[in-house]
Amino acid sequence: MSVLADRIRKMAESVEPEFIASSLRIPLDVVKGILSGEIPDEALNNYDPGRPPELRVVEKKRYVRNKVIGVYGPGGTGATTIAGILSYQIARQGKRVFAVDLNEFSALAPFLGIDCWAENAVKYPNLLWLSGDVRKLMIPALQNDLHVLPGAATVQKYHEVDWGKVQEGIADLISGCETLVLDLPNPFHLAARMFPNLDCLVLVIRNDLPGMYALWQIKPLLQEMLLKTYVVVNQSAGKAVPMVVKEVLNMTAGHIYLPYDPKLKFDVYSNAEFTGEVRDKLLPLLGYGEERGKKSLLSMILGGR
Ligand SMILES: Nc1ncnc2c1ncn2[C@@H]1O[C@H](COP(=O)(O)OP(=O)(O)OP(=O)(O)O)[C@@H](O)[C@H]1O
Ligand SMILES: [Mg+2]
């Protein structure tokens, strides 16, 4: 137990980690690590605000722990495909993942192997059920540690969704898993309601004129999310990106290109090649690539090798 760690947690109830870091003069990565539990409280025992050398070293290291990932696409760009593959691949790393479909046209759960298309939808909980102990609603997918909540069965049902309840439910789910993946709704104003909960936003666009233009159109609304935004240029045919779009890409936290895969099936378990691409390119960008970051950070703080 550390007084300083307790103070950080108390402050976090009302202010952002950035503010805690600057007012206590502790590196932001360390503040985030204490809040997420990745850094043990003891690491702050005998902490000297004059900043001991070990923590200065840590400050230079990039350490990202993305707890809540929102995946957004302006329409038909591959957002659900990417959200599903991300959930699957993060779960394969042994992390407990919840995936939630917030789309008007829901397809995430079937993509993850749940047979809840059409009439079968009534057999499963879905987005409209979000109240009470919401964790009980999560359906196990074929992959260990991966659970999913399907979206509304029909568009008519989707229009009955109570977004206040969804926000409460999402907040409740965050505490029950290591990674929550939200397949965000297409209307940007609905997706933006989830932004305060997100650690990062994966924006999926296509490398064609409408896709590039969509990125430019969204940019003013991203505001402070821009530094938490990772762009996936999907179905990229290797075409050059217009300069005006390149400038936007460079303002985000990072971007990758994924290929058009003519063999892609709408089933996460039968796309070895494409899921491999997502694993190798997108996961490292989001901080899930290797355990290296976590180990070196901890060992540096604890003084190990
Ligand atoms: N890289 C790719 N190569 C080939 N096909 C792809 C690729 N990415 C996605 N697709 C296909 O594009 C279609 C749309 O994908 P998906 O449903 O994931 O898009 P979306 O952005 O979630 O759409 P919506 O806006 O309707 O929610 C699917 O048939 C999917 O298999
Ligand atoms: Mg979708």
pLDDT digit string, tens, across residues 16-43: 888 888 778 788 888 888 888 888 888 8
Same domain, 34 and 150: no
Looking at the fold, whether 58 and 79 belong to one and the same domain comes out as: no
Nearest protein Cα to ligand 1, atom 8? 78
- pLDDT tens-digit series, residues 205-230: 998 888 988 999 999 999 889 999 99
If one compares 5 and 88, the residue with the highest pLDDT of the two is 88
252 contacts: CB under 8 Å, gap ≥ 6:
203, 226, 227, 229, 230, 231
Q: Which of ligand 1's atoms lies nearest the C-alpha of 262? A: 4
Q: Clarify whether residues 72 and 59 are in a common domain.
A: no
Mutate to test the pocket of ligand 1, among 77, 81, 112, 186 (most ligand atoms within 8 A of CB): 81
- One domain, residues 100 and 195: yes
pLDDT of residue 9: 87
Beta bridge pairs of residue 216: none
Q: What is the CATH number of the domain that holds 212?
A: 3.40.50.300
* pLDDT of residue 274 exceeding 80: yes
For residue 158, give its domain range: 68-285
- Mark whether 147 and 49 lie in a shared domain: no
Mean pLDDT, range 64-78, rounded to an integer: 85
Q: Are residue 10 and residue 135 in the same domain, yes or no?
A: no
**What pLDDT does 102 receive?**
98
Higher model confidence: residue 132 or residue 73? 73
pLDDT value of position 295:
45
83 closest CA partner among 105, 107, 63: 107
Q: In terms of domains, do 242 and 94 share one?
A: yes
61 has a pLDDT exceeding 90: no
Task: Kindly state whether residues 216 and 271 are assigned to the same domain.
Answer: yes
Is residue 53's pLDDT more than 70? no
- Cβ < 6 Å from ligand 1: which residues? 73, 75-81, 103, 105, 107, 186, 234-235, 258, 260-261, 264, 266
User: 235 C-alpha to center of ligand 1: Å?
Assistant: 9
Q: Which mutation among 190, 208, 264, 270 tests ligand 1's pocket best, with the greatest number of atoms within 8 A of CB?
A: 264
Residues 162 and 202 both lie in one domain: yes
Position 298 scores a pLDDT of 52
Q: Are both 163 and 241 inside the same structural domain?
A: yes
Split into its structural domains, the chain has a count of 2
| Secondary structure element (H or E) that encloses residue 108, with its range | helix 108-111
174 and 135 co-located in one domain: yes
User: What are residue 179's DSSP bridge partners?
Assistant: 97
pLDDT band, very low/low/confident/very high, at 239 (cuts 50, 70, 90): confident
Residue 172 token pair: 């409740």
* Helices (H) then strands (E): counts for the chain: 13, 8
In the prediction, which pLDDT does 26 show?
Answer: 83
pLDDT tens string 172-204: 888 888 899 999 999 999 999 999 999 999 999
Q: Are residues 136 and 188 in the same domain?
A: yes
138 secondary structure, DSSP code = P
Mutate to test the pocket of ligand 1, among 71, 80, 111, 277 (most ligand atoms within 8 A of CB): 80
Question: Phi then psi for 149, rounded to 5 degrees?
Answer: -115, 115
